[in-house]
Chain A
Amino acid sequence: MNDADQNESAALPRFEPTDEGVYSIETVVQITRTPRHQIAVYCRHGIIAPVIAPEREGWWFDHEAIRELRRIESLRVDYGLSVEGLRVVAELFREVERLREEVRTLRRS
């Protein structure tokens, strides 16, 4: 980048990834506006997984879980899927992502 670019870049808002953050369930309820019991149902059915932190009590969630939660909750509200249906869909999402990754890797060889 030359000097002109630097100056312009300095004015733009910056976003830094916060990768190590975990959020308590109370915070997740606030961020995603999903009722606590609903989150518990999702966890019980293995749709989303909390981060296990042995030194801390309670459930903690990372960015990936929040993103998953938003997607799944929107499907529940918009399409009225049952919990079992949501579990299947969540599995399919993960499988599709995994397959995409594998295809990409294979294509590169």
Chain B
Amino acid sequence: MPVEFRDYYATLGVAREATDDDIKRAYRKLARRYHPDVAKDKKNSEEKFKEINEANEVLSDPVKRKRYDELGAHWQDEGPGHPPPGWDGAGAREPHGGQAREFHFTGTGFSDFFEQFFGGGSRYGFGSGEHEFGAEGRAAGRRGADIEAEILVTLDEAMHGTMRALSLQAFDPRTGQAETHSFQVRIPAGAMEGRRIRVPGKGEPGDGGAPAGDLYLQVRFAAHPDFRARGADLYHDVDLAPWEAVLGTTVVAPSFEGAIKVRVPPATQQGAQMRVRGHGLPKGRSGERGDLYVVTNIQMPEQLSEKEKRLWEELSRTSQFKPPEHS
């Protein structure tokens, strides 16, 4: 099934030798520009935002990035859509040695290219082992296997809930038949990362009249330029100048309710977290919410003017401070 190659490096505007930091920075800058909440051209930015997220999913993960680089190196050799030899695609594998049936998804938030080569670590079905026995006692049919796939959800979608249109194409290499199922799945508000949403009957078809297995969609959060999620809690990193950490300051942090002012107390240490209660993600249906943590990251100046240098030198002479581990 020919699929178009995606140039993730070009999408993020980074070189192939880009470091993890380069990629993180490039992602944040672009994600902020095309974020659906702030972008001016909302319709077109949505597509672009998805591309950026997908490129980041692959390039920020060392294992995926390595695979991607290898894939890219061999892409022209075999012709478009053909993976290099020895490549294990993301089709479903039948555990009993039967020929693998391929499943292709659209609408999971990933492109066809991603789905085919990087889609979900657990894209396999387990035969359900449910044998239907006829009057003679022989197995009359077997329920189809369950399939697990990942669905990429933005934090905003997790915050408010969303309805996603999915298309599932099952391709049986034995018969050459392809069957497409289109349907919508609601991702509820408060859906947490790792949560499985069951779509009954959309798994592998059953044998001999037995029912089909189920499709399980596992929620994965797309990286967000401003937040990291852990359960229902959100983490936002802020950079501070050394004097801001020492003397204290007020910082502005983003939240789903708009910008909030957070007080950084004097003598704040590296990595200190300020908790803002109730500004995290929803915790299920109860209306309760997790917390937002503002994490401080003290940055050191790299360039100093002569005057600044003198002030720092005076400080080093005047101060009684000795770091804890100093001998």
On A, residues with C-beta under 8 Å from B are 2, 9, 12-17, 19-20, 32-34, 63-64, 67, 70-71, 73-78, 97, 100-101, 104-105, 107-109
A71 and B126 contact, Cβ closer than 8 Å, known pairs A9-B165, A19-B188 = yes
Residue of B nearest to A70 (CB): B128
Given known A-B contacts A14-B186, A77-B131, A67 and B146 have beta carbons under 8 A apart: yes
CA–CA, A9 and B164, complex, Å = 9
Tell me the complex Cα distance, A9–B186, Å: 12
Q: Which residues of A contact B223 (CB under 8 A)?
A: 108
Query: Which of A9, A15, A75, A101 has its CB near the most chain B CB atoms (within 10 A)?
Result: A15
CB neighbours (8 Å) of B193 from chain A are 101, 104
User: Which single member of A20, A71, A73, A101 contacts B194 (CB below 8 Å)?
Assistant: A101
Measured CB to CB, the nearest residue on chain B to A20 is: B285
A12 lies within 8 A of B183 (CB): yes
Q: A78-B96, A108-B228 are in contact. Are A9 and B129 (CB under 8 A)?
A: no
Q: Given the complex, which residues of A lie within 8 Å of B186, measured CB to CB?
A: 14-17
Residues of B within 8 A of A97 (CB): 194
On whether the beta carbons of B121 and A9 are closer than 8 Å, the reply is no
- Counting chain B residues whose Cβ lies within 8 A of the other chain, the interface size class is 35 or more
Report which B residues bind A (CB closer than 8 A): 43, 60-61, 95-96, 121, 126-132, 143, 145-146, 163, 165, 182-188, 193-194, 196-200, 216, 223, 228-230, 284-285
Bound CA span A108–B230, Å: 10
The contact sample of 6 A-B pairs, CB cut-off 8 A, is A12-B165, A32-B128, A73-B129, A74-B145, A108-B228, A109-B228
Cα(A77)–Cα(B139), bound, Å: 12
**A76 vs chain B, min Cβ distance (A):** 7
Determine the distance from Cα of A19 to Cα of B126 in the docked complex, in whole angstroms. Answer: 23
Residues of chain B within 8 A of A77, CB atoms compared: 127, 129, 131
Establish whether residues A17 and B188, one from each chain, have CB atoms under 8 Å apart when the complex forms: yes
Q: Which residue of A lies closest to B200 (CB)?
A: A15
